[in-house]
Structure 1
Amino acid sequence: MPHRTELYEDPPSACWPIVYSPDYNITFMGLEKLHPFDAGKWGKVINFLKVVICRCYNHRNPTSRLPAQFRGSEKSFETSTDPDRRNNNGKLAVERGWAINVGGGFHHCSSDKGGGFCAYADITLAIKFLFERVQGVSKATIIDLDAHQGNGHERDFMDDHRVYIMDAYNRYIYPGDGFAKRAIKRKVELEWGTEDTEYLQKVHTHVEGALNELRPDIIVYNAGTDILDGDPLGGLAISPQGIVKRDEVVFKAARRRRIPILMVTSGGYQKRTARIIADSILNLHNLGLIDKELATSGAGNPKVEQMIRDTAKDLTNLSLQ
């Protein structure tokens, strides 16, 4: 019997299961600008999604109010100020079939220590929460596609046969944790400057292989955007379109098998990262890979798609601030 807990709050059914809190964005008297990480990228992702979806909605319904899930402030999304709550959304993914935490993905932090900008082990927490408190969840697959090896969750699940780990990363960069690599069931070590064609072929092959080897009850997808060409820490050369396609590959594999998926955004250290994440979420929606009935049905409509492109241009300054 699952235990009662206060770590999880049920969001309204009218809201998309996209998790965000303004507390994600970090400010400290301007010193955050000296850090390679864009400390405000999560808010930029949400602002981009709000503007694009709401603009398209008004185009289709010129006399109507905004749809419920985008009305008001950031509270239109399922939010919480407690970091354990706001980053523990596996249950939400199980109930809805998918969930996206615009923050999260602290994959260098294990249960006993932090590392690499990661303060607590949210991936470990989410999976253990599901195993202990949600009936029907006894196996999990972690698909870690951040540019860095996810040594935190690997150390935590080293001897846990309920958890299957696939990890694709630049083999030459941090953390280079040889001990943690022993936990990886599918290890994809990439070379400096790996580009779209090779990368996407490997992602497709190994995601399919991983999910064929073990059919999990939940997928935790660590969707780092530090694979982007020009990222100062990732060392790979994937285009924005390649990142969008990568996320599509993973969600398609999950949807074909009807496996719930929780996506976290992890690393990404360029100003354009936020817009790419938002573009990817919109692409998943347009393809019907996430709840299409809760927002606009603009996919395939040339006028609506042109509005999305126009809005993306309008928000260029926002994404560069």
Structure 2
Amino acid sequence: MGLEKLHPFDAGKWGKVINFLKEEKLIADDFIVQAREATDEDLLVVHTRRYLNKLKAGKLAVDRGWAINVGGGFHHCSSDKGGGFCAYADITLAIKFLFERVQGVSKATIIDLDAHQGNGHERDFMDDHRVYIMDVYNRYIYPGDGFAKRAIKRKVELEWGTEDTEYLQKVHTHVEGALNELKPDIIVYNAGTDILDGDPLGGLAISPQGIVKRDEVVFKAARRRRIPILMVTSGGYQKRTARIIADSILNLHNLGLIDKELATSGAENPKVEQMIRDSAKDLTNLSLQ
């Protein structure tokens, strides 16, 4: 209805990412795994009936196991409350589905590198020692949720205008530290691009090349430890972020970090490994909405 023109969020971002990847011949239509509509039964794993009754319907862009989902990362939504453009708690849902439905998956690490604090999943996992949360964010912007910060095991609060060198050094140090402290059965990586220089909401100053390198750092850390990883793209409020996300995915592919070999050998747990195989097709094992 044209309302997207009045809003900072680029509602066409996800489709643009897919189109860029098609243009680069990385994927074709028959390589794309379509996300299924979440049922009320699925959503009730996390959300209350009262909260769901306030909403009509929507897609839950979560794929379990090794995947890149270009439409997920709603990290301000918790089990009973939405916020910050986030209607469904997809990160919480993904992890709880794995805990409840996949034998042998009992520990998860959330690496949240969106410019904003991920207060939704932090509130949901406040007292859950199975979930380790690392969060790197601009300390001065939304949501400033002091209560939720208590759930963060590794907290990195950034200053206004933080640039590539400092940012990448901190990401590398703390990703390595987090995964050395606890080796999880699954990593959920919230890869927001609102850290980009000029983003109207993020307040940081990371270059496009810095974002590509950041994603590379996280995937390399996961691969070295043979840990399955689910990446969601979260915030990013400039038109150029779609191209940057596509470039990052292409870089991961070119480096062999999202090829089929990684996907099928990346899990030590056989059931997780089979789940990963089942979530994708043919060459890249790339799961996209």
Q: Same fold (TM over 0.5)?
A: yes
* Cα displacement string for residues 203-231 of structure 1 (whole angstroms, at most 9, x for unaligned residues): 00000000000000000000000000000
SS of the residue corresponding to residue 90 of structure 1 reads coil
Q: Does 1:244 align with 2:244?
A: no
Give the structure-2-normalised TM-score.
Answer: 0.77
Q: Over the residues paired in the alignment, what is the CA RMSD in angstroms? A: 8.6
Residues 39 and 301 (structure 1 numbering): CA distance in 2 closer, same or farther, change over 3 Å?
same
Q: Does structure 2 retain, via aligned residues, the 8 Å contact 1:170–1:236?
A: yes
Q: Does structure 2 retain, via aligned residues, the 8 Å contact 1:48–1:315?
A: no
Q: Which has the higher mean CA deviation after the structures are superposed, 308-317 or 237-246?
A: 308-317
Q: Does structure 2 retain, via aligned residues, the 8 Å contact 1:224–1:268?
A: yes
Q: Does 1:44 align with 2:11?
A: no
Give the structure-1-normalised TM-score.
Answer: 0.70
Matching residue within 84, 87, 93 for 1:125 = 93
CA distance in 2, matches of 1:79, 1:222: 21
Matching residue within 142, 146, 151 for 1:178 = 146
Q: Does structure 2 retain, via aligned residues, the 8 Å contact 1:93–1:261?
A: no
SS of the residue corresponding to residue 93 of structure 1 reads coil
Q: Does structure 1 retain, via aligned residues, the 8 Å contact 2:37–2:58?
A: no
CA distance in 1, matches of 2:274, 2:143: 42
CA distance in 1, matches of 2:63, 2:269: 30
CA distance in 2, matches of 1:83, 1:310: 22
CA distance in 1, matches of 2:131, 2:205: 30
Distance apart, 1:98 and its partner CA = 2.0
CA distance in 2, matches of 1:219, 1:165: 10
Question: Which structure would you say has the larger RCO, counting Cα contacts within 8 Å and 6 or more residues apart?
Answer: 2
Residues 92 and 99 (structure 1 numbering): CA distance in 2 closer, same or farther, change over 3 Å?
farther
Q: Does structure 2 retain, via aligned residues, the 8 Å contact 1:247–1:280?
A: yes
Contiguous gaps of at least 5 residues in structure 2: 23-35, 43-52
CA distance in 2, matches of 1:317, 1:117: 29
Distance apart, 1:118 and its partner CA = 0.4
Q: Does structure 2 retain, via aligned residues, the 8 Å contact 1:90–1:130?
A: no
Residues 168 and 88 (structure 1 numbering): CA distance in 2 closer, same or farther, change over 3 Å?
farther
* Cα displacement string for residues 160-199 of structure 1 (whole angstroms, at most 9, x for unaligned residues): 0000000000000000000000000000000000000000
2:30 equivalent in structure 1: none
Residues 193 and 114 (structure 1 numbering): CA distance in 2 closer, same or farther, change over 3 Å?
same
* Cα displacement string for residues 17-57 of structure 1 (whole angstroms, at most 9, x for unaligned residues): xxxxxxxxxxxx1111110000000000000001xxxxxxx
CA distance in 1, matches of 2:266, 2:20: 16
CA distance in 2, matches of 1:218, 1:310: 16
CA distance in 2, matches of 1:94, 1:242: 26
Rg larger in structure: 1
Q: Does structure 1 retain, via aligned residues, the 8 Å contact 2:63–2:94?
A: no
